[in-house]
């Protein structure tokens, strides 16, 4: 079993977490130490170059292969600027190979989060090598002008969660058949009973596509669990004949006096359940789509857009 150590976020990820009220479940264990930049850094990249904007990757795990890249975009004064009407382009550079020529150039989509919190930008991208990469974000303003921002981040060989195409790990998840039983295993105040009928090992044994979402609406450390679970429940309505849906609380909970409470460590930190550790979650919420052969076909860290879900569900129908 892979264990997930509780994470105290650091560096630029921490900045993103502060902006988004983010706190991680655990920390992905890198299989490789990121490359050290050359003496003097990379030409044209921070800290040697200033820019109008500061892009901050919110994704906690970026690895070789396909990734869903989430980015928080702020000004030098820490002003949030993400809106549905502001087009943004992502350019990604393998800095060790060529810091002047992008390997990936793609438009980014606006991703709303929750009311009163800043939105994000997202794009599906693929990295062909581990090491230091550069992210350049370019906005197109209403007057046709552009603003840009650059930052450096690390790509790892592999992460702690299953990669796209990997076999889904089997982890026992609780089931329930009545409202009272569901109340003992889920903090969702409006649960969908169909999300608690099948355990994950049974879903694998049935050789039917399924969706497993790790989220705790009541005790979420990122504030995104409830909204994410609501979006998935809404999207599931038209797919239940093709997909099995499984909701898992990522932390250990105890039930007393008619309510659930988190089981805490001596440091007052929540304790991940076995399924959280087996799936290697670095944060919550996290959602995976698994096909009939038991392989992961899509995964979503944090909040997810309905259109992203529908595309993933349709691919597994």
pLDDT tens column, 268-317: 999 999 999 999 999 999 999 999 999 999 999 999 999 999 999 998 65
| Same domain (yes/no): 44, 148 | yes
**CB-CB neighbours of 165 under 10 Å:** 11
Q: Is 197 helix (H, G, I), strand (E, B) or coil?
A: coil
Kindly state the helix (H) or strand (E) to which residue 212 belongs, with its residue range: strand 210-214
pLDDT at 316: 64
| Same domain (yes/no): 148, 90 | yes
Torsion of CA 281, 36, 43, 58, to 10 degrees: 10
Strands 120-127 and 104-111: antiparallel
In this structure, is residue 268 part of a structural domain? yes
Position 16 pLDDT exceeds 70 = no
Phi, psi of 77 (to 5 degrees): -95, 15
The string of pLDDT tens digits covering residues 57-113 is 899 999 999 999 999 999 999 999 999 999 999 999 999 999 999 999 999 999 999
pLDDT at 302: 96
Position 169 pLDDT exceeds 60 = yes
Q: Is 62 helix (H, G, I), strand (E, B) or coil?
A: coil
155, 188, 216 - which closes a domain: 155
**Average pLDDT, stretch 189-212?**
98
Rounded CA separation 252/285 (Å):
15
123, 155, 187 - which closes a domain: 155
| Same domain (yes/no): 191, 260 | yes
pLDDT at 38: 75
Position 267 pLDDT exceeds 50 = yes
In this structure, is residue 19 part of a structural domain? no
What count of residues does the chain have? Answer: 317
Torsion of CA 171, 177, 179, 185, to 10 degrees: -20
Rounded CA separation 149/291 (Å):
38
| Same domain (yes/no): 311, 183 | yes
| Same domain (yes/no): 196, 285 | yes
In this structure, is residue 17 part of a structural domain? no
**CB-CB neighbours of 200 under 10 Å:** 24
The CATH number for 56's domain is 2.60.40.1930
In this structure, is residue 16 part of a structural domain? no
Query: What stretches of 227-276 adopt beta strand conformation (E)?
Result: 244-248, 253-256, 259-262
Position 30 pLDDT exceeds 90 = no
In this structure, is residue 4 part of a structural domain? no
The CATH number for 262's domain is 3.40.30.10
In this structure, is residue 10 part of a structural domain? no
CB 261 within 8 A of CB 254: yes
| Same domain (yes/no): 94, 140 | yes
| Same domain (yes/no): 113, 203 | no
| Same domain (yes/no): 195, 74 | no
pLDDT at 236: 97
Rounded CA separation 186/180 (Å):
10
| Same domain (yes/no): 205, 151 | no
In this structure, is residue 128 part of a structural domain? yes
In this structure, is residue 212 part of a structural domain? yes
pLDDT at 48: 73
Is residue 267 packed enough to be buried (19+ CB in 10 Å), middle (13-18) or exposed (0-12)?
exposed
105, 120, 155 - which closes a domain: 155
Asked whether the whole model's pTM tops 0.75, one would answer yes
Boundaries of domain holding 65: 30-155
| Same domain (yes/no): 270, 225 | yes
| Same domain (yes/no): 239, 119 | no
Q: How many domains does the chain divide into?
A: 2
Q: Is 233 helix (H, G, I), strand (E, B) or coil?
A: helix
Query: What stretches of 141-174 adopt beta strand conformation (E)?
Result: 146-155
| Same domain (yes/no): 131, 193 | no
């Amino acid at each position: 079993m892979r264990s997930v150590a509780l994470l105290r976020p650091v560096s630029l990820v921490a900045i993103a977490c502060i902006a988004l009220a983010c706190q991680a479940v655990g920390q992905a264990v890198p299989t490789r130490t990121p490359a050290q930049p050359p003496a003097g850094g990379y030409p044209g990249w921070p800290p040697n170059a200033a820019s109008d904007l500061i892009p901050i990757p919110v994704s906690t795990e970026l690895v070789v292969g396909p990734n869903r890249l989430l980015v928080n975009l702020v000004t030098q004064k820490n002003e949030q600027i993400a809106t549905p009407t502001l087009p943004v382009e992502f350019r990604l550079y393998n800095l060790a190979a060529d810091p002047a020529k992008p390997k990936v150039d793609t438009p980014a989509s606006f991703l709303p989060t929750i009311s009163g919190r800043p939105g994000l930008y997202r794009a599906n991208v693929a990295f062909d090598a581990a090491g230091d990469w550069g992210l350049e974000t370019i906005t197109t303003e209403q007057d046709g002008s552009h603003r840009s921002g650059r930052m450096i981040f690390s790509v790892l060989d592999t992460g702690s969660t299953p990669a796209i195409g990997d076999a889904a790990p089997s982890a026992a998840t609780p089931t329930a058949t009545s409202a009272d039983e569901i109340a003992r295993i889920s903090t969702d105040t409006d649960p969908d009973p169909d999300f608690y009928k099948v355990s994950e090992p049974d879903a694998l044994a049935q050789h039917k596509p399924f969706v497993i979402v790790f989220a705790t609406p009541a005790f979420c450390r990122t504030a995104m669990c409830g909204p994410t679970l609501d979006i998935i429940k809404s999207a599931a309505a038209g797919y239940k004949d093709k997909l099995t849906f499984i909701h898992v609380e990522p932390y250990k909970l105890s039930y007393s006096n008619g309510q659930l409470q988190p089981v805490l460590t001596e440091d007052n930190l929540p304790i991940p359940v076995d399924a959280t550790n087996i799936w290697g979650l670095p944060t919550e919420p996290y959602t995976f789509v698994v096909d009939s052969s038991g392989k992961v076909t899509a995964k979503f860290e944090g909040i997810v857009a309905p259109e992203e879900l529908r595309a993933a569900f349709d691919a597994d129908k």
